Structure formats: structure tokens, C-alpha cells
Structure 1
């Protein structure tokens, strides 16, 4: 089946031959795609909402993959047992929610050999948590799909040195590769911080320290951007 550029990029991060648990599977697009193509021998498709899970069941049956894809109703990784999957795929949620999902099923998560993650927001929060818990980023992708910017990563267990704060924001592999979309990532980051700064300057409260900190951050990111251009 044909996937969107966002989902195709996520699939490219899944190690061939692995069994995945796709959390928040919606229509089970990723499990069906990887099992149809032979990239994965089998998969678990999990969703907390009955409607999307019913759509996943229908899609899986229509693809003739009911014997290879197990559709489950459950919250995050709570419906997955140790040893059932090699890795997890979690796409389309905010970074803090992904942290919550991983921490809520900590033992299951720590038994996995990888996690493919596509945070919709606050990716830096997620990256920092991964490193704090003894994981690190092995690979990353930046993608523009239908005019929207997406970032994704493959995290694996194995403690490495903590990253500088700024690398949590943009991703260590993205920086190492000087990804062609990294400039856009930094521009989006600066736009967000700029809006916050504008709001603070209009505030009647004494927020001078916060304003100065944000101005320093924006100056830093301008310098980083200059290194890429």
C-alpha cells in the first residue's frame, strides 16, 4: 500500500525483520504496509479508541493479514507483554504524551530493542527523557508532508553522554548530517520562541529575566542557523 511521506519515513526507521507494536495505530497503515512488503513478519496494532481500532481490524482483514497482525484495544504499551515485540512505533502524538506512554509501561519499554517515534510537538522533551532513561538517538528523519513539517527518530537502549541542551531541540543525528531540512526546523523553533517573546513583552508582569533568557536563546539559534547557511 502507498503511505504518506510522513509514514514512509517512519517505516524506513524500522529495522527489517523485526516485530513491531504500533501504538495509536488508527487504521493500521504502518502494520499493513510493513507486513505486506515483507519488512516485518508480524505486528501488533494497538489503539485506545474503539472506532479507529475497528477501522484497523477492517483494514487488516481486507489486506488478508489477520493471521500476522494482532489488533488490540489498549492504552499505550499496556496491552503489550514483554517479548511480544522487538520494538514500538508511536507516531502522531505530542512529545510529553509519548513520555507518559513510555513511563507508564516502563518494564515493557525497557525490554524493547528500539522505538520509532514521531512527536508532533515538543520533540526536545522526548529526546531528553530518552537520554535520561539510558536510551539514545540512533537515527533521525526530517520530512515535509502536505506542507507540514515532521520529525522522527529511532531510539535504542544504551547509555551515552548527555547532549547539550540545544541538541535535544534539533536532534543529534539531524545536526551531524546537516539535514537539508534542519534550517526549517530551526526557523520553526525560532518562530515559536519569537511569539512567546512578543507575548511576554506585552505582559504587565515583571518578566524581564524571562525576556532576557529568550533573547539570548534567539541569538544563539541565529548563530546556529548561520552555520548551516
Structure 2
């Protein structure tokens, strides 16, 4: 029956990171495809689908009804984690938004995270913001994935609040926050493709900044360093072939 939901590869990857018997919230759930997919595959799971806009909220209600999931999936209208009660869920999914938006949703809803043991985030851009928030709030990254779908490259991060040992090394911290501590090690085709693209983009930005009347020397220094790290990654790919 779960095959009735045509879930994207990125959301399949997200769903694979949830434990059996999860009670999770999917924030920005859109049509509630992810909660329905998970609950159809795992009969012991439950979910809350949160949506801030009325149109997608109504679509989510329809999807949940279509799959007879009303007793296990609760669709709620509201902003970010405001749809949750305190201590209500064990896992949290926030997928398909920018990293800085995910970060602010987590920051604004910190009082709702008391019982949340795992956060799975899929930022469309700026995954570093999310990694930084995890680091500052005692959530330790334990799994990362990167994949290409429909011409976009997505990073998927899972962090837990438990005794998992941190993958970060002090001397590599800034680099690991940028590239991802696990992704730096695994380096698949999508990883190299992303950083070749980011390298070219950053080169253009630096050229503009160097040519500006008033130069932001601090930013120029930071970007020059990041460019150097990206260069090392790209050179490593060339060595591999």
C-alpha cells in the first residue's frame, strides 16, 4: 500500500533515518506524504504534520484521510514548532527549507524540544547553519547523506541528543561545519559536484568583493580560506580519477 505514495529520493532517505515505532513531527509537511509513507510502512509509528499555510494544510488533511491515517497522524496548522505541545514527540523532521530558516524554527521552538531525542534536517541551502545550531545545543550529528535529484543536490543531517561521540575535531571544526564531518569522509559523486559548483560561485563573489569601493576585509579573508578548502576537495577528486 505504501507504494501508492510516490516519495522523492530525498524524503525516502529522511524516512530511513527514523527509528521503528517513531513518534515524530514533520514540520512544513506540505501534503503529509512523509508521515503517511512512514506510518504505512511501520504500523507502530505515529506522526504530527505541521503546516503554516492553509493550502498545504488542507492538502495534508486530504492525504491523511485518503490513507485512513486519522488515528495515527494529526495534521495541525501553525508556525514552526508552535504546533507542538511540550514533551510531545521523540523525533523531529524539518525538510525542504533553507538552513537559516530551519535554524530559526529550532531556536524559536526550543521550549518544545525537551523530549526530542533526534532531529532530522534536510536544508536546501546552508547546511552549515544547521550543523552549527546542533553543535551549540548539544545535538550530536550521527548521520549525513548527500544526493542529487531533479538537478538539485540535497544534504540530509541526523543529530541525536545522547551519548553519541562527536565526529568533530577541534583543528578541523570550521571545515567540518562547512562540508559535513561524515560527508567529508564518504565523498560521493554528489558531494564533489556540489563543491565544484560552490567553488565557482564563491570565486565570482570574491571577484566582486575585491572590486568593491569599500572592502569587507573580514569576509574576504573568510571566503578566501573557504575557497582554499574547496580547492583541496576538488583536487582530491581529480587525484581519485
TM-score by length of 2: 0.87
> Please, what is the CA RMSD of the aligned residues?
2.0
Give the unaligned 5+ runs of structure 1.
Answer: none
Residues 67-113 of structure 1 deviation map (CA, whole Å, 9 limit, x = unaligned): 11100011111111233211011011111111111111112224201
Aligned to 1:34: 38
Aligned to 2:93: 89
Work out which structure has the larger RCO, using CA pairs closer than 8 Å and 6 or more positions apart in sequence. 1
CA gap 1:142/1:206 in 2 versus in 1, 3 angstroms: closer
Residues 1-37 of structure 1 deviation map (CA, whole Å, 9 limit, x = unaligned): 2211121111112122211100001100100110111
Deviation of 1:207 after TM superposition, in Å, equals 4.2
Aligned to 2:129: 125
Aligned to 1:178: 187
Aligned to 2:19: 15
Q: Return the match for 1:187 from 196, 210, 220.
A: 196
CA gap 1:186/1:85 in 2 versus in 1, 3 angstroms: same
Deviation of 1:119 after TM superposition, in Å, equals 0.6
CA distance in 2: counterparts of 1:216 and 1:68, whole angstroms: 49
Contact 2:89 2:115 in 1 (8 A): no
Deviation of 1:54 after TM superposition, in Å, equals 0.4
TM-score by length of 1: 0.91
Partner of 1:172: helix, strand, or coil? coil
Aligned pair 1:67/2:76, yes or no? Answer: no
Contact 1:137 1:155 in 2 (8 A): yes
> Map of 1:154-165 to 2, 5 A cutoff?
154-158=158-162, 160=166, 164-165=173-174
Q: How many residues matched?
A: 229
Aligned to 2:149: 145
